[in-house]
Amino acid sequence: MELSKLTRRRIYEYLKTGKRFDGRGLLDFRKIDIETNVIKNADGSARVKFGDTDVLVGVKLDVVEPFPDAEDKGILITTAELLPLSSPRFEPGPPQIEAVELARIIDRGLRESGFIEFDKLSISKEKVWSIFVDIYPMNANGNLIDVSALAAVLALKTAKLPKYDEKKERVDFGEHTEKKLPLTNRLPLTVTFYKIGKNMIIDPVQEEEESSDARISIAVSKDKEALFHALQKGGENVFTEEETDLVIENALKKHAILAAKVKEKLEKGLKSK
Amino acid sequence: MSYTKRVDGRKFDEFREVKAEVGLIKNADGSALFSFGDTVALAAVYGPKQLHPQHLQNPQKGVLRCIYDMLSFSVPERKKPGPSRRSLEISKVTEWALSSIVDLENFPNTVVDVFITILSANASTRVAGINAAAMALADAGVPMKEMVSSVSIGKIDKQLVVDVCKEEEDYEEGEGATDIPMAFLSRSGDLTLLQLDGEIRPEELKKAIKLGKESCKKIFELQKKALKEKKLEK
């Protein structure tokens, strides 16, 4: 499914005049839709759409032995499976680099932001909670990284711990408590900037993403001050210093938009209860 | 105590609430969602398209390929992502359940891919998947001779029931639980899927097949309704 040269050229020409095929500005998101608690058997879940890109993230919790080098800390495992159901570009089979990279970028944002209080996930010397964050696109039309990051944060935020039977040292799967995961206010949301020609855009549709030959993803969190946590430069092309400056400045502005969406959703969720 | 009342209060010949919708995945040529209560299956169809590698091509007609899998968090205890022996077998019987309905003679050397994903599981996932897949094929406009509808019949202790839920599947008293997934063609009523897990008397199996066939007629009406509703929207 190679993008035609003609489409690529038209995307370039449009961007030169500050326009995109769907009428958005260069640094505008598509319409964002959020649903939480969508999967009954998941401990937490969120389905997030940026336009036609639709991603489902589920959280599963289990009690396991800690890693020997971090005995008093919980465990986070993030995976992504690019379902062939969600795009003609994805083939069945073992995870390709695109899925592995996606999961690793999301994992780093969650881990490094201090969003998850890993030391509060310890139960005893031999037992800690393990968090699985599994990412599945339902329809992939560009910008999987930012959509997945937002869905992951919401799936974690809405997760409830299953019942843990201390005598049997086993989780009673399917039975839930009202307890939530120990999380801080540092919501790590990722904004990815795609370079096309000399222009920088966010939230590309698939055609735009394929016309781009370089990107930078930034996981940002803001509590009292804004901090960057996970960066990834991807693609073969380069960035000038002016371009990285632009990315850094706009990352904060764009993060604020996403953070407001998350807060709105979480507050609504509280009210409805 | 024998099984005289269903755990969720349903009649013995009643399936759980069905949700049937088409056209949910924009990238796909056809797509559909089908659910029996908390069992939710999503299916997408891509094709007909060129089949690679070449040695798999059939110069006489197009090939139908099905892949069934579950999301890791669709079940109470996390399932490791990726295919298992179980999902590979279900993929194959699903393919057999569907292959007689599609007419791919005008599409030699191509493939029609059907991807079924279980979003949420509470037993009877393969039959929900087949129902979704048949609708997705129709939504994609793949030439079809008829539809397929599918249901699981259970023998819980001595009682035959329609659309087995997880709690029934795990029933251990009396004669225990036997699960019989089956699928029928909409016009001829012929059978395209039959599996069984447990034990059953020959006479009971005959009854179970009759019961399944009756239920599938009702399921077919729901599939048809969802497909028609989408047409009207356009």
B103-118 confidence digits (pLDDT tens) = 999 999 999 999 999 9
pLDDT mean over A205-219? 96
Report the Cα–Cα distance between both ends of chain A, in Å, rounded.
Answer: 46
Q: How sure is the predictor about A241, in pLDDT bands with cuts at 50, 70 and 90?
A: very high
**pLDDT for residue A1:** 54
pLDDT mean over A105-123? 96
**pLDDT for residue A272:** 53
Report the alpha-carbon distance of residue A187 to residue A147 in Å, rounded.
Answer: 14
The percentage of chain B sitting over the pLDDT mark of 90, rounded to a whole number, equals 93
pLDDT mean over B227-231? 86
Judge whether A1 is closer than 8 Å to chain B, CB to CB.
no
Report the alpha-carbon distance of residue B39 to residue B17 in Å, rounded.
Answer: 10
Q: Which chain A residues contact residue B73 at CB under 8 A?
A: 39, 41-43, 45, 58-60, 132, 134
Q: Count of CB atoms within 10 A of residue A190's CB?
A: 30
pLDDT mean over A261-272? 82
Report the Cα–Cα distance between both ends of chain B, in Å, rounded.
Answer: 53
pLDDT mean over A251-268? 94
Kindly list the distances between the CA atom of residue B228 and the CA atoms of A63, B23, B224, B231, in Å, as whole numbers in the listed order. Answer: 48, 12, 6, 5
Contact A134 B117 (CB under 8 A): no
Judge whether A90 is closer than 8 Å to chain B, CB to CB.
no
pLDDT mean over A239-259? 96
Q: Is the pLDDT of residue B230 over 90?
A: no
Residues from B contacting A (CB-CB < 8 Å) are 24-28, 38, 42-44, 46, 49, 67, 71-78, 81-83, 113, 115-117, 119-122
**pLDDT for residue A273:** 44
- The whole-angstrom distance between A273's CA and the closest CA on chain B is 22
The percentage of chain A sitting over the pLDDT mark of 70, rounded to a whole number, equals 98
Of B167 and A174, more confident? B167
Report the alpha-carbon distance of residue A158 to residue A240 in Å, rounded.
Answer: 40
**pLDDT for residue A30:** 98
Chain B nearest-CA residue for A77: B80
Write the pLDDT tens digit of every residue in A61-86: 999 999 999 889 999 999 999 999 99
Write the pLDDT tens digit of every residue in A143-156: 999 999 999 999 99
